């Protein structure tokens, strides 16, 4: 006896009668498979007819940000529009695509599948747009950049200059923390990533694009402000202000001291470069930051201490996953980064 749970609508139900002979079972399964294929085709057709690119774009944004608010901001839509379009899409697909637990949004298994399919579709469309752009000489296209927090001091400027040069190109930049940048690289979500420390455990193409010196900063009236060639161990007892654990800047400083057998004990941990600069100016301590963080400051606002083994010479890198075929626009941006001179803000303050 075979007792089947019907997996398809009533129109196909007559094939699901309870049978006992093997011959009939084979017949039954054959019909069932045909029915399922039909369902998939009908479903695919319905999806194609009624699902719009805009809905997929909204779904893609929700899958990326795991937030209706952020998705609506990114797409310049209202939140009710985003919710309504998501509901329509879910109804069309016929299964839930997301689950909301408290304030958090998770993709269901079908949601993950659709997210993958959507990205493939968008990648194909992007490649198409890019090849049109190529034929038109970079007159249109899209560039999606992601940058680690400290890169926010120069990335918008670079992107702005590039966008001025190619006004038809739609550019976007997300500045975020290391964890999110790595997740985005792993999922191949953006065109290019700007980082101070390329991931070691991923297959990526890495291009150094500019210097990133890390300098020791103190308030201008600090007693060491005018001292020459300060030995590293003279700084051990200073109250150090440090970025959060995991920050590339912090790793570089700790490594530099560790090379001399010195372990730094931060007096205070602050989650952003701006907070650290404020704390320095308030006399709370000293720190070391990328020289890029000084671009908007008047010369002399901070003392850059003359410490041995400093500045730490690092680089900024443009990174993308090894398997990714760079779009024409991303390639043009990379070429532009390599061709431009070092930014003026990098001169010592």
Under the rule (CB under 6 A), what is the footprint of ligand PGA? 148-150, 178, 196-197, 212, 243, 247-249, 290
Number of H helices, E strands in the chain: 10, 12
By beta-carbon proximity to ligand PGA, the closer residue of 134 and 211 is: 211
Smallest distance, ligand PGA to C-beta of residue 180, A: 11
The residues near 232 (Cβ < 8 Å, ≥ 6 apart) are 256, 257, 260, 262, 307, 308, 309
By beta-carbon proximity to ligand PGA, the closer residue of 55 and 150 is: 150
By beta-carbon proximity to ligand PGA, the closer residue of 56 and 215 is: 215
Smallest distance, ligand PGA to C-beta of residue 322, A: 21
Q: Helices marked H in 66-108 — which ranges?
A: 68-75, 79-93
**Using CA atoms, how far apart are residues 205 and 211, in angstroms rounded to an integer?**
18
Residue nearest to ligand PGA (CB): 248
By beta-carbon proximity to ligand PGA, the closer residue of 148 and 173 is: 148
By beta-carbon proximity to ligand PGA, the closer residue of 118 and 197 is: 197
Smallest distance, ligand PGA to C-beta of residue 77, A: 31
Angle (CA) 341 344 346, round 5°: 100
Smallest distance, ligand PGA to C-beta of residue 246, A: 7
Smallest distance, ligand PGA to C-beta of residue 83, A: 34
Q: Helices marked H in the chain — which ranges?
A: 22-50, 53-65, 68-75, 79-93, 109-135, 155-165, 178-186, 248-259, 273-281, 328-339
């Amino acid at each position: 006896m075979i007792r089947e749970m019907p997996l398809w609508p009533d129109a196909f139900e007559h094939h699901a009668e309870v049978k006992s002979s093997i011959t009939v079972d084979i017949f039954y399964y054959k019909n069932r498979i045909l029915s399922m294929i039909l369902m998939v085709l009908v479903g695919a057709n319905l999806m194609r007819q009624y699902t719009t690119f805009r809905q997929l774009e909204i779904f893609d944004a929700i899958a990326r940000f795991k937030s209706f608010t952020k998705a609506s901001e990114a797409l310049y839509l209202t939140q009710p529009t985003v919710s309504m379009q998501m509901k329509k899409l879910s109804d069309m697909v016929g299964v839930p695509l997301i689950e909301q637990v408290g304030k958090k949004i998770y993709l269901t298994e079908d949601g993950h599948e659709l997210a993958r399919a959507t990205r493939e579709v968008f990648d194909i469309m992007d490649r198409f747009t890019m090849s049109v752009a190529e034929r038109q000489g970079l007159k249109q296209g899209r560039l999606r950049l992601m940058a680690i927090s400290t890169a926010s001091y120069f990335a918008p400027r670079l992107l702005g200059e590039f966008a001025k040069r190619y006004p038809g190109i739609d550019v976007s930049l997300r500045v975020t923390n290391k964890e999110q940048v790595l997740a985005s690289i792993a999922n191949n979500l953006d065109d290019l990533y700007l980082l101070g420390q390329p991931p070691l455990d991923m297959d990526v193409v890495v291009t150094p694009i500019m210097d990133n010196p890390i300098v020791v900063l103190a308030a201008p009236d600090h007693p060491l402000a005018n001292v020459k060639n300060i030995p590293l161990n003279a700084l051990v007892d200073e109250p150090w202000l440090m970025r959060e654990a995991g920050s590339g800047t912090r790793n570089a400083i700790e490594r530099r001291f560790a090379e001399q057998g010195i372990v730094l004990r931060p007096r205070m941990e602050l989650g952003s470069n701006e907070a650290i600069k404020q704390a320095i100016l308030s006399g709370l301590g000293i720190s070391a930051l990328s020289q890029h963080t000084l671009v908007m400051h008047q010369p002399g606002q901070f003392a850059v201490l003359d410490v041995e083994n400093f500045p730490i010479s690092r680089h900024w890198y443009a990174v993308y996953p090894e398997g990714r075929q760079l779009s024409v626009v991303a390639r043009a941006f990379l070429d532009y980064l390599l061709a431009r001179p070092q930014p003026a803000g990098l001169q010592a303050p």
